[in-house]
Structure formats: structure tokens, C-alpha cells
Structure 1
């Protein structure tokens, strides 16, 4: 099997592994075999017959392509391979292709035309969860952030938050919306559940839709069955603010130190020096506290 064939596919391998993590190896092996054969058939004949080929190889070895999800994935991957075509470029090609607006525009259209299928955002679309979403940006099931579920409470494990890969590890960032009034405790539950110690807030505040979601001073707290969150201190920098919080377990002798770095004028960035200082502060905080992901909060 030529591994280079699969570099043409922009579908994340981590998504693939997560999707099939509970299946036997023979199903994944069959999926690779079908993809390899169909990519070669597309190149040689310009046609594809997933059903026929899979039927043929399953007569030789049972359970090749074991689940419906794997069968769907094959079709999704082939569609993307056909749409994207060969995207590997030699170094000397870059200089010429950067002048080709039509080539770049077509590639860009292929990227922005992607729409998650309903099956991929089924958790976000549940009636009990839909009221927790702002606008039309939803986490796909395979990358959504899970909360500790509450027994007998449907949807208690849901928050509109998405895992994003970082440079050093897969689950380095969580991107989430500005909490709504009825999702504030869910937000801090996410911080608690995933041991988050750094929050980067790029959302400005108002009194109606994007309200403050932390205690105003150290005399109040946000309480749940598993934690108590309190405000500790605030530090005003030139164009941004840092806030420190402490989250304490209600059941064990454990507490979590959390720092929020808030840039309220984002994305109207007028002062380059301040932007640099803000990024350095985030970097230094994250370097010292690497136990959990960095959470990015945005409108």
C-alpha cells in the first residue's frame, strides 16, 4: 500500500482513529484496503465501485469494513480526494502557483464549502442541547468537549466546546463560545473537569448577551455539586486584564488555580506591542501550567 496516497486526504487521522477506536482491527484494515483500491481505480479508470469491491473482498475475509461508520467514512474520504485532487507540491512549483488566482480560489472554495453532516453534529442538535448554542457554530461529535454527566439528566455532558490540536499534543486547546446565563456553571464545570489552568478570553462584555460569567469580587462564589469557584484578584495591563480564580472541590481536598487573560478589544488590535505582551503572557502561563489545555473564549 502506498502511504503517500493518503496524504492527499485532508481528513485528520486522529479523527479516523477516534471514530474507530472501539472496533476490531480487521474493520480498520478493510477500510484501508478499500480506500487504497478505490484511489487506484479512480486514477486508472475514472470510476469507483465501493460496494462491488467490498463485496468481493468480504467473500475472501469476513468483517473487512466492520461498521456503518467505516463504510460512510470510505465514501466521505473518496469524495474529498476527488474534490481536492493532488495537493502535494514541489518546492519549485510554489513560486508559480502563488500567481495563479484561479488555482488558489478553487482550493479555498473546497475548504470553505465543507459542511458537517447532521450525523456529525447530532449531540449539538438534540433539543435539550440546542438551547446551549449561540448562532450556528456547533462542535462535531468526534471533537466535542464532554462534561461529567449528571445521573438521569439528559444533555448534562454537553457544552459548545471543541478540542483543537496543538503543536505538542492533540488536545492542547479548547475553543468555546462566550457562556450564556444558563451555561455559566457548565463552563466552569468544563474548566474543573479538564484541569484547565489558563483561559484566554477574546470576548468583550456587555450587560445583555455577553455578560460577566465570574464572581464580581471575593465575597461571592459560583457553586455546584462538585466545585466552588471564587475570584481572587485582578491586574490591569495596558490593553488587557488578567484575573485569578481558585476552584475548590466540594468532595476532596483539592483545588485548581486558574488565570484568565482577557483582551476586551479583540480583534481591533491597534497596539502591536500590547499584542506581543499579551501573547508572551499567555505563553509563559501555559509553559508553567501544562497539566490541562488552554481554553479560548470568543463570542
Structure 2
């Protein structure tokens, strides 16, 4: 088995000291590129590789060799694709899933696993230490990261190069210890649900309640909410506790001479296969509707998913940001309604959106945006059945295939509860189709690391 813990665009065939930055990370132009002839003795198999959100598994088979030579051997390469150019992954969840995949695919009779990154020390060492310490947890119920890193550095210098990589090892082990393996095969879902509805060691809670309680361990990073907590921007929030993190907030173009106009209460959220595939945002307020349409235009969104009514229980939940007939203009953007159809519990509205900028070319001034307005969510509680939401996700995916995979704007009222539920379910269903696996707990946990309070209730 061959493991790659780098990305092809980062790399160069020859390694030298200049390839290391001051912090020991790999520069984007240094590493390991797929050279001509790399597959000389093992061409990728004809079938598509198994591709997850963080790794790729191209099937590789041995060639037909002359008589008298050894029989071909199957070699499986797993390529971890979500390690950033600098630093470490934002969360260890992907690495733990990758490790599980490695262990599942590597047969008991196999020889050593070949692990490489670029120089074969930083990311490679990090991977090896996490794998070994997980074995130590099972065997001895303890870990000794310092001792193990010291020992492997005697075997190969500079293994685990940076303090960030060293910290990441502990983060991965803590994640594994606190939450364990919550992934399951889709065929065992019904049995798992029955178990979750049974009592736990905490007899006052059923398993589902206990699993949801663990999500409270996901700390809200208030120190990363500085922009949203500025007085000028707090006025733009429906719920002051639900604002974006600075590291993944959606940034608008700044209006000339107008401070804070680059802010909107919206967060980029990763999809199953694509980073920043969703934009999670609140329902626009009367004074933020122009920002909403600027966001849709600037980030080339062709799809809007609305999961609330304009009013619920006689309370304003979302400003009606579209015209019921004709057109309406917000700032430099005009929205004209072209069609409005109701299909079961979903209203599908097509808008012709025009950017009123005289210097722009005609083909760059207009765009059709489709809104999917889901009416199947009751004012209190959740939908009685999941079919309506599944139909909505299918319709949205079809629209994305036709218009290109630009970000999908998803909103309810605060941009967390129903919005998080839609995105989580969308990502989970994508993984079920691709891998036959699901992990509801980690799917929701991942969302909460990207925007606070995503999926608010049990």
C-alpha cells in the first residue's frame, strides 16, 4: 500500500533546503509532482477510484509481465488531499477517516505501508505518530507522543517538523478519545437508530440525547468573531449569538468611502466534495437586503435555498427580498421575477438579476438565479417526514449540475438551525451515494466548527 500525504500542485521532483519555509512547512512550488512515467509499472485501473472528501483512492494494478516473471500484484494508493499548503488541517476529522480507510484496505498479510509527503518527514511523521498512538490507546489505554517522536527521529531525522504538526497529533488523539468512531455503514443505520433510542450509561438520557450533548464540546471561538462583533456589524445580525467566524466569513467588495460594507452575516461551508460549496446566511433584514444580493452576484451564486416563511407565528423571520411581480432594485442590482411555480411543498422562482454597471459587458450584466423556497417546515418542530427535504436536495443538485458548481446560498431566519440541517443532510446523502457510509455526528460537528449553533435542536 502506498500513501501520499501531499498535493500534486505543491511539488517538485528534487528536494533541497530552499524548499523549507521558516516554519518548516512546504512552499507551494516544492514537493512531489506526478512525473512522466510515474505509473510505468502500475497503470491506474480502468475503474474510477474511490474518492472521499479528503482522500482519493485510485485503483492501480500490475502490468502484464513476460513469462517467467512474478505474477502481478495489486497496489492501492491512498492520497490525502486536504492538507493545506501551509500549517495543518483545520480539524483532524479528515485525517482520522483517512486512517480508518488505510486500515480497512490494507490486508493482514501485506508488507510495510509506504508513506510519503514531499520530504518524507513532516506530514509523513505526523501520520505515522497518530497511527501508532491509536494502537497504543487500544493496547495500553495511554499515549506517549514525546517518546515515540523521539524514537522515530533516531530512525529518520526531523520526523514531525513543526510545533503545529506536533499539536495536531494531540488534537487528533483527543478527537479519537472523546468521540471514537461514529461512522457506520448505511446498511446498519436502522439497527443503530434503535440503539440510539435506548438508554445509555447516563440513565436519564437516551443514546441520541447523549450523542447530541457531546456536540456542546464544540467550543464557540469568540476570539474569531471580531468582525461580526463590531458595533456597526452587530446591527446587521438577527441573532447576535449567530455571526460568522472571521476565517470563513463571506467578504463583499468594499464600497468606496463606506466603512464596514465588506461585511455580511454569512459563512462559507464545505460540501462533501467541494470546499466552500455552501454559503450559510441569515434571512435578510430590510437594511441588509442589498448586501444579500451583492453577495449572490459577487460570488456567482445561481441557486438560493430558503427554509423559512417571511413570517411565522406573527413574527418577522425574513425580509421578502424578491418582487412578487415585475422588478425591484436594491443598490446597483435589479431583480426581475420571471416565473413562480409551486411543486408540492417547494416554490421554485426564477429571477433575472441585472448588475447595473455601465462599464460591464452585456453578457456580464445579467444572470438567472433560481430560488427553492421550502414550505414543508412547520412553525414549531420539524417536518413530519424526510421526503420533502430529500426531494429539495435532489432538485438543488440538479440545478447545480446545469449551472456549474458555484456556491449555493442557503438561509432560514438566523442561518443556523434549518440551514445547518439542510447542509448536513445534503453532505450526508452525498457520502452515502459515493461510499455507502454515513457519520451524522461528525457531519454536524464539522458544521459547528464552521458556523456557531448549526443544527440547533435535537
Tell me the distance in 1 between the aligned counterparts of 2:281 and 2:223: 18
Report matched runs for 1:43-122 at 5 Å.
43-54=138-149, 61-62=157-158, 64-68=160-164, 70-87=165-182, 99-100=194-195, 101-102=198-199, 104-105=207-208, 108-109=211-212, 111-118=214-221, 121-122=224-225
Whether 1:246 and 2:352 are equivalent positions in the alignment is yes
1:124–1:90 Cα change, 3 Å: same
Whether 1:36 and 2:150 are equivalent positions in the alignment is no
**Deviation for aligned residue 1:205:** 0.7
1:92–1:205 Cα change, 3 Å: closer
Tell me the distance in 1 between the aligned counterparts of 2:393 and 2:345: 12
**Which residue is equivalent to 2:296?**
191
Whether 1:222 and 2:330 are equivalent positions in the alignment is yes
**Which residue is equivalent to 1:22?**
86
> Which of 390, 408, 415 matches 1:294?
408
Tell me the distance in 2 between the aligned counterparts of 1:74 and 1:273: 41
Tell me the distance in 2 between the aligned counterparts of 1:209 and 1:94: 35
Contact kept, 8 Å, 1:161 with 1:177, in 2: the verdict is no
Contact kept, 8 Å, 1:200 with 1:296, in 2: the verdict is yes
1:64–1:261 Cα change, 3 Å: same
In structure 1, the residue corresponding to 2:281 is in which secondary structure?
Answer: strand
In structure 2, the residue corresponding to 1:257 is in which secondary structure?
Answer: strand
Contact kept, 8 Å, 2:305 with 2:371, in 1: the verdict is yes
1:165–1:219 Cα change, 3 Å: closer
Deviations 1:220-246 (A, max 9, x none): 31124xxx2322334242654333323
Q: Is 29-38 or 149-158 further displaced after alignment? A: 149-158
Contact kept, 8 Å, 1:171 with 1:293, in 2: the verdict is yes
**Deviation for aligned residue 1:256:** 1.7
Q: Is 243-252 or 198-207 further displaced after alignment? A: 243-252
Tell me the distance in 1 between the aligned counterparts of 2:133 and 2:267: 35
Q: Which runs of 5+ in 1 are unaligned?
A: 4-11
In structure 2, the residue corresponding to 1:146 is in which secondary structure?
Answer: strand
1:281–1:117 Cα change, 3 Å: closer
In structure 1, the residue corresponding to 2:288 is in which secondary structure?
Answer: helix
> Which of 315, 330, 340 matches 1:235?
340
Q: How many equivalent pairs are there?
A: 284
TM-score (ref. length: structure 1): 0.70
Contact kept, 8 Å, 1:124 with 1:130, in 2: the verdict is no
Whether 1:285 and 2:388 are equivalent positions in the alignment is no
TM-score (ref. length: structure 2): 0.49
**Which residue is equivalent to 2:372?**
261
Tell me the distance in 1 between the aligned counterparts of 2:214 and 2:347: 35
**Which residue is equivalent to 2:306?**
201
Q: Is 284-293 or 104-113 further displaced after alignment? A: 104-113
1:107–1:235 Cα change, 3 Å: same
Tell me the distance in 1 between the aligned counterparts of 2:337 and 2:194: 54
Q: Is 203-212 or 187-196 further displaced after alignment? A: 203-212
Q: Is 275-284 or 189-198 further displaced after alignment? A: 275-284
Tell me the distance in 1 between the aligned counterparts of 2:167 and 2:304: 37
In structure 2, the residue corresponding to 1:220 is in which secondary structure?
Answer: strand
**Deviation for aligned residue 1:177:** 1.9
1:106–1:284 Cα change, 3 Å: closer
Contact kept, 8 Å, 1:147 with 1:189, in 2: the verdict is no
